[in-house]
Structure formats: structure tokens, C-alpha cells
Structure 1
Amino acid sequence: MKFHPHNSQDVHYWDSTILKRLSERTGYVDEPLTYERVAVQVLGSYRDHDEYRDELYTIGQEPMYKWQMLFTGMPKEIAPQTRTEVQKILQIHRETPLSANRMMAFFHGANLFPLKNTPYDEQYREAFKQWLAMLEERYPKLQAPNLHRFFMDLVKWSAHYFPKWIAEGLFDDQVPRILWHGEARETEVYWLYFLYLYGCDIVVLHPSGDDIFKPYTLSLPQHHLDEHVPYFDFPLEKPQRIRTVAQKASEELQETIYGGHSLHYPWKYREYEPQNRILQTTYDELFLLVQEYTHMRQGFEADAQHVYIPTLFAKIVGISRNKEEYATRLQRLMEDEWTYTVNAFPIVQKQRANMQFHYRDASTNGRLDVEKMIQLSVWPYKKLAIPLQKGLAHAIVRLIEEAPVERLLNETQQQYEHYVFGQALAIPMQAIQLFQRFDYAYRSPTIVAFYEEAGGVLTREDAILLKLLNMLGFDILLFNPTGQRDLEAYIEPTYYDTHWLEEMTFTETLASIKAYRKQVDGSKIRTIFKRFLN
């Protein structure tokens, strides 16, 4: 059986349409099944923010809606056999690219479609085919390192939800009503879009007004409310009205004076969640940009909730033939008050504590909860201002969910999450102090890591630390004169730039570079002095 849904024409009244059975909606036809589908992004809030929170609480609690509130947390575990089958198909595709029809046949033959042998299998296959076409527009020939995650999540979540929805009778003159609130990772956006293609009702709420589909060149109809407001969690408990009239007036005055188009006055973004954007640069540009205010860099912007910070994450391999220039640039970096220099590895030790129960206590429905994280007894950043704690906690959540540091072959997903979580609680004090001084629109702190042959080995724990600091807005510059592997052993090279210089050396140390710089400076002084005497 195939569905033929068409989008509701008037998104303003989505809340009344979604309560109707399919047969009660405009344009319903029984054979073939044709119906009006609710698909809408509700962006923004009422001017009375408290009233909007009250309404969200009401529709969230109202049994009539029968919401599938996927944003509260989706399952992370996948059956080992299922994982193996998906990996086999993707390996075949990497070696000999498959057409969309052949790939669909492989997935279907491996019993990876949860509705096989049901009347809904044909619709699932049709949605999967459209989903592949959509994905191929963004990733030509379906060849990209992160595609395995999208396929794995689609199979995992489909196997969890679709059989349950059928058992609950959610395809008897109705379809699942999907509710999503707030931000979504790329893999979650593709999952939501698959459900849309399948024919489910989809309602996405975002008080900040962000279109979660736009970055991926997808679209869903939009319904805009009065104004955009800072992001807030979906009210699962009855909101309490505590703002006074004077407080509301004060907030309105702040917005008038310091609106989104005003200058970047000090600490304007202190309450915002920092998110980084990695800049791709030439080798020479690194040393120009590293001392430039972040708001002057290409890509700096802010919305109602986030401040997007363009950052540097680069590995410099070898040493320039112009050693004077190389030494001068490195010396200037290290002397800068915003730089934290390391040349002994590991930078941090591996955390041995069992994080299982701490991770559980910091989670809601299996997903890390920022508010719970900062209340943990093992949370080491309690001395930071609350906005900084929350910004750091959000970065840790992204670090775990985006998983830029690769998982070990013998490591389960749960073990990986606990491990990364534990390491994220071990940021060195020097870096924390720089983070406290960091005003997101101004100078970005810099980590200069200089790899020496006898200085130890960069570890997976170090890779996690550097990536986390980069996500917070730090610039990361790793100097490796030897050309040996370090970061690439743990992080995909797509997450950082690599600049190759002319010479490889195994004898240079940070001390020898400093000494060379002093020798050059001394030579110049003697030359000037000799000219003066002559």
C-alpha cells in the first residue's frame, strides 16, 4: 500500500487539522490512500512569552494529540547483527557504488526494513528511495565519511518506532504525530525528513526562529509567530509566571538598545551558547587570523540562542626552510597572553573513574541533560559563571553526539559515551582560566601544541581535549616538525586543516626554536651596533 499525502494548505490552523482523523481531512480518498498531511515549522513565540510556554505545556500534555515527542531522546542501541549488515552494504557501496534501486534492494534483502511482510512495506520502500535521492543531492554519489551514521540511525530508529506504531494502531485512519522542539543534529534532521516523506504529521517548534532544515537544503512549510526569543526547553512541567512588569519592560529596553544589529559591546553574548565554525585557511593566513577579533572573522554571527564563532584548527607539519620566519611566528604565538602552550604529551591523563552512573544521573530519556550535568557531584566547573557552565555542558553534549573522535573497534556505543564524558571533565586549569576570560566576540584563546620526538605521544585523550576546546571557540594550532601521525590517529582529517612545510626534522625542540630566535635577534643587534660604530 502506498500513501499519497499532500501538505495542509493553511499552516496557521495546524493544531486543529492534526486532531482530525485522516478521513475527516480535506481531500481524503480511500483508494489510493490520499490525505492532508500536517507539516509545519512553528518559528518564534508570542509577545507574551509566558503565555506561549503555557500553550506549549497544554498541547504537550493534552492526550488527544497523542504526540510522538522524539526530541526528548531517541534510542542509541542497535543490534550487533543489524550494525554488521548495514556496514557490509556500505562497504560494498564504497568499493562499487550502488544505484539507489540496488542499495534499496540490498537493505530490503538484509531484512533492514522494519515493515517487510506488512501492508506498509511498499510505502516504506518508496520513502527510502526518495530519502536516498534527497541525500544524494547533498552528498554526490552517496560518498562521504559521515553517511554511515545517517544510514545506521535510520535503520536503528525505524526498527524501534515503526513496529511500535503499528502495534498501537497509529496507521488506522491516522498517522504518527511527530513533535520536535529546538535544535537537531544532521542525522536527526534526516530522520525527521524521512518520517515526512513516509507521510507522518510533522510539527517542529523553535522559539528562536531557527529553521533546522535550511542548513541541509531541505524545507518544511513555516508558520511565524510574533517574535523570536532565546531558546528554552520544552515545558514538560507547568510553567510558573514569575516575571514582573518592570522586568519585562527592562528586557524590552535592552533589546531596543542592544538589538541584534548593534555593535558587539563587551560580554554581549555571555548568556549565549557558543558554537564553532572551523575556518579553512592558507598557512600564512593562520598567523594573521589568530590575533584577529572573532567578530571580524568571516562567518561570525549570532541568533537568539547561539553565538557562532569562526575558529582555527590546524596541524602544521614540518618546518619552513625560512627558519627565522618560522621561529618568529611561533615565538609571537607563545608570548601572546591568550596562548596556552604545551610541548609534553599526554596533555591530560586518561580518566579511570567509572562514569556509568554519573552519565545516567546527568541524562533524561538516555540523552545528556545540561541542567542535570552541572548539578553532578563530579562536575568540576562549578566555580564558573552559570552561563559558562551551560555553554561548556552544551559543547560536551555535541562532542558526544557528533563523535568527531573515532570509536575503537572493541568499544560499545555506551562505553564510548561514558569515556568521552569522563575525559570532558578533565580540562586543564590553564585552559579553563582562558575560557573564563574569553569574550566570544573578541580575542579567541589559542592552544599551541608543539610535538617533539622525545616529548611523548599525543593520545586519544588529548584529541578529545583539543576538539572540545575548539568547539568552545578556542583556536588550536598543532606544530609537528617530524611529520609523524598524531591527530589523524583519532580524528578524521576533515575536522581540521593540514599545512605541509618544506622540511621534516626529528631534532628540533621548542627550546631549540626559542634559542634560534634569540640567536637571530642577537645577530641583528650586533649588525646594527657595528653599523653604528662605523
Structure 2
Amino acid sequence: STVNGVVNIPVIFSKISGVKDGSVSQYWESIAALITEDTVVVKSAPYIEPTASGPMKAFAVEFYKNGKLLRNKIKNHPRYPYHLLREEMQEFILDKLQLLIERKLIKGIGENGTEYTVIAQVLDLPKEILRLIQKFDFTKKNPKLIYIITQETMISLQDSILVAFLNLIGFDILFFVPTGYQSVERYFAEDLIEEHQIGEYKYDMQVPDLNNISTNSTRP
């Protein structure tokens, strides 16, 4: 809907646990059928390593004071990475970064300095994500992130920040966790994710090349 010039879009933020009917081949087919040209697929956790040192990490403390982002300081910083984006998109990113911190969607914000990690991560978005944001037309279909976790691994704090931010921006996000493990929830401060139990748990599955899977079978 559009209300007073503001576009409201419904977004999906869900974790799919288990494998329906225990059918591995149908499981991969169902995931492959969801992939569009505006979908980023992550095939193992973590997507962003906790040790990754982004260009803005050392400066994050300078960008936040009294609960507010210092936008001019951020945008005038020589290492600010989003000059290439159109102006309204830069403001939109900073709006959602501010909202993410205000709503304390990540554990530790306002308690142990996690807000600075949040700022550093949002100012260092992966290139493939940034390109989807740049072309995002709010009145059409929203971009997607599919995150598959088949092993005994967890998403990183940086991953958690990224997906919470993308959820606020308007991405559809699906985590596929055939093991049913608590691989996703650790750093979220509230029940952001809706979990769906779709079948039995399967372990040590290998993610195939999803681009080469036939998805012609009929899906209700």
C-alpha cells in the first residue's frame, strides 16, 4: 500500500526447519524454485566472518552520539562507502540503521557497545547486497535473501545485524535449516523470525548447484 507518499511492503522473515516428507531432492527443488534474479543465496554459515574488518570499523564510535547517528560526519568521512548510491537511498540506509539501533533488535545494543558493531556492519554491506539495494524499486517486487545452513554452524553477529537490517529495508529473508538447530536466533533481541517446522530433521546435507536443478514439477 501507499499512504501519504510512504510505500508499505509486506516482508517475509522466516526460518524453515526440517525437510518435508524427508525428501531431499524435493527439498532442493523447492528452494531452487524460489530463486529469482533479485535473490542472494548464502550456502553456509557464517556469511560474514566475525573477524572481518570493515573499512568503517575503526571509526564507528565517532558516528554515534546521544542515541543519534551523526549523519553529516558519516557522509563526509573519506572512507564512507555509499557516495555512489543515489541520495535518497543513502538517506534510506541511514534511516533504517537508526531504526535498527533504536529498536534494539540486536542483543547488546545500548549495553555493551554492540551499536558500534551494528554501525560498522551496515556501513560495510556486501557488494552483491548493495547492488540489489541500488536497483530496488519499492513499488515492485522486493529483493530476497535465502540463507541455507546444513551443518552444525551458526550465523555470526555480523550476519544477524545484516539480516535484521535487510528485513527493515524490505528484503524477503528465508533461512533453510534442515537440521532444525538453533543456528539463527542467538543474537536477535526479540522474536523477529517466524519459524516453520515442515518435516523431519536431516543432517550433513550438501547444498547442490541450485541453478541446475529442474523446478518444472508442479507446486501448489
Band of TM-score, shorter chain:
0.7 to 0.9
Task: Tell me whether 1:391 sits opposite 2:89 in the alignment.
Answer: no
Q: Does the 8 A contact of 1:358 with 1:376 survive in 2?
A: no
Q: 1:445 aligns to what?
A: 143
1:491 equivalent among 163, 184, 188:
188
Q: 2:166 aligns to what?
A: 469
Q: Give 1:418 deviation, angstroms.
A: 1.2
Q: Give 1:346 deviation, angstroms.
A: 1.5
Q: When the two structures are aligned, how many residues end up with a matched partner?
A: 214
Q: Give 1:412 deviation, angstroms.
A: 6.3
Q: Does the 8 A contact of 1:356 with 1:418 survive in 2?
A: no
Q: Does the 8 A contact of 1:319 with 1:501 survive in 2?
A: yes
2:14 equivalent among 314, 319, 332:
314
Task: Give unpaired runs (5+ residues) of structure 1.
Answer: 1-299, 525-534
Amino acid at match of 1:453: Q
1:422 equivalent among 120, 125, 132:
120
- Alignment root-mean-square deviation, CA: 2.8
SS at match of 2:40: strand
Q: 2:157 aligns to what?
A: 460
CA pair 414-406 structure 1, distance change in 2 beyond 3 A: closer
CA distance in 1, matches of 2:2, 2:71: 23
Please, what TM-score do these two structures have when normalized by structure 1?
A: 0.37
What is the percent sequence identity of the aligned residues?
Answer: 25
Amino acid at match of 1:440: F
Task: Give unpaired runs (5+ residues) of structure 2.
Answer: none
Aligned pairs (5 A) from 1:120-269: none
Q: Does the 8 A contact of 2:38 with 2:144 survive in 1?
A: yes
Amino acid at match of 1:400: I
Stretches of 4+ moved more than 6 A in 1? 512-515
Please, what TM-score do these two structures have when normalized by structure 2?
A: 0.84
CA distance in 1, matches of 2:186, 2:73: 33
Q: Does the 8 A contact of 1:327 with 1:514 survive in 2?
A: no
Q: Give 1:487 deviation, angstroms.
A: 1.9
2:130 equivalent among 432, 435, 438:
432
CA distance in 2, matches of 1:349, 1:325: 31
Q: Does the 8 A contact of 1:373 with 1:393 survive in 2?
A: no
CA pair 347-509 structure 1, distance change in 2 beyond 3 A: same
Q: 2:201 aligns to what?
A: 504
CA pair 359-332 structure 1, distance change in 2 beyond 3 A: same
Q: Does the 8 A contact of 1:371 with 1:390 survive in 2?
A: no
Amino acid at match of 1:503: E
Q: Does the 8 A contact of 2:146 with 2:174 survive in 1?
A: yes
Q: Give 1:419 deviation, angstroms.
A: 1.5
Q: Does the 8 A contact of 1:370 with 1:394 survive in 2?
A: no
CA pair 389-514 structure 1, distance change in 2 beyond 3 A: closer
CA distance in 2, matches of 1:356, 1:512: 38
CA distance in 1, matches of 2:66, 2:203: 50
CA distance in 2, matches of 1:488, 1:345: 13
Structure with the greater alpha carbon radius of gyration: 1
Amino acid at match of 1:422: A
Q: Give 1:490 deviation, angstroms.
A: 1.3
CA distance in 2, matches of 1:472, 1:313: 12
Q: Give 1:342 deviation, angstroms.
A: 0.6
CA pair 482-364 structure 1, distance change in 2 beyond 3 A: closer
